[in-house]
Amino acid sequence: MPRPEAPKRIAATRLLLPVAVLASAFLSACAAPGDYRPELYAASTAEAYTLSAGDRLRVIVFGQDSLSNAYAVDGAGRIAMPLIGSVPAQGRTVPEVEREIAARLRDGYVREPRVSVEVEAFRPFFVLGEVTNAGQFPFVEGMTVRTAIAIAGGFGPRGYQGGVDLTRIVDGVPVTGRVPLDAPVRPGDTLTVRERIF
């Protein structure tokens, strides 16, 4: 035969159960990487790198020292070169820009131009939120979220370390998802470290 206080315990348990379920759902929604879509970021990371404003290119035209120089991709997504003027670079790969420059030089300026283009400096990446030093930083090849946060001084005291919100331009559209610390970072990415709940 149950003791008299047993119904009170059962009633208290029934009242606390929904609260516990709601709290668990809230914490998991705020802290767990539930919106991480690995296929989207894996696909965008595997694609050939496309240029954008902030990248700096080293252009070498063999035998033409006056044309060989470093050129920054401006806010309009172009580089300005002598003789051929403004060359579109936004959204193009390095080989595509290389072919464009060679084609323009061939059109009445240089006979059989040999052109080499490489990225001298990538556009910066950005770290926001609960880190020691938020801001923009120079990109380093082979960077992961973990190394990017280290460059920003590491997690702040309230920074959530289970995943980071990463925003990347994919097909011209900014896409954000929760990624693990070992996810690769690309130039122009924005990382946001959220505040942990407890």
User: Which domains, and CATH codes, for the chain?
Assistant: 30-48+123-193 (3.10.560.10), 56-121 (3.30.1950.10)
The whole-number pLDDT of residue 77 equals 94
In eight-state DSSP terms, residue 155 is B
Cα 125 to Cα 37, 70, 141, 151, distances in angstroms: 21, 21, 12, 11
Task: Please give the residue that has the higher pLDDT: either 46 or 9.
Answer: 46
Sign of CA dihedral 57, 60, 61, 67: positive
The whole-number pLDDT of residue 181 equals 94
19-58 per-position pLDDT tens digit? 333 333 333 333 333 344 556 666 667 788 899 999 999 9
The whole-number pLDDT of residue 198 equals 66
Q: What is the average pLDDT score of the chain?
A: 82
Instruction: Report the DSSP pairing between strands 190-193 and 125-129.
Output: parallel
Q: Whole-angstrom Cα distance, residue 167 to residue 175? A: 5
62-72 per-position pLDDT tens digit? 999 989 999 99
Residue identified by tokens 């767990």 is 32
In eight-state DSSP terms, residue 154 is S
| % pLDDT > 70, the chain | 77
The whole-number pLDDT of residue 174 equals 85
**pTM of the predicted model as reported, rounded to 2 decimal places:** 0.74
Q: Whole-angstrom Cα distance, residue 86 to residue 100? A: 11
Question: What are the structure tokens assigned to 95, written together?
Answer: 């080989």
The whole-number pLDDT of residue 30 equals 38
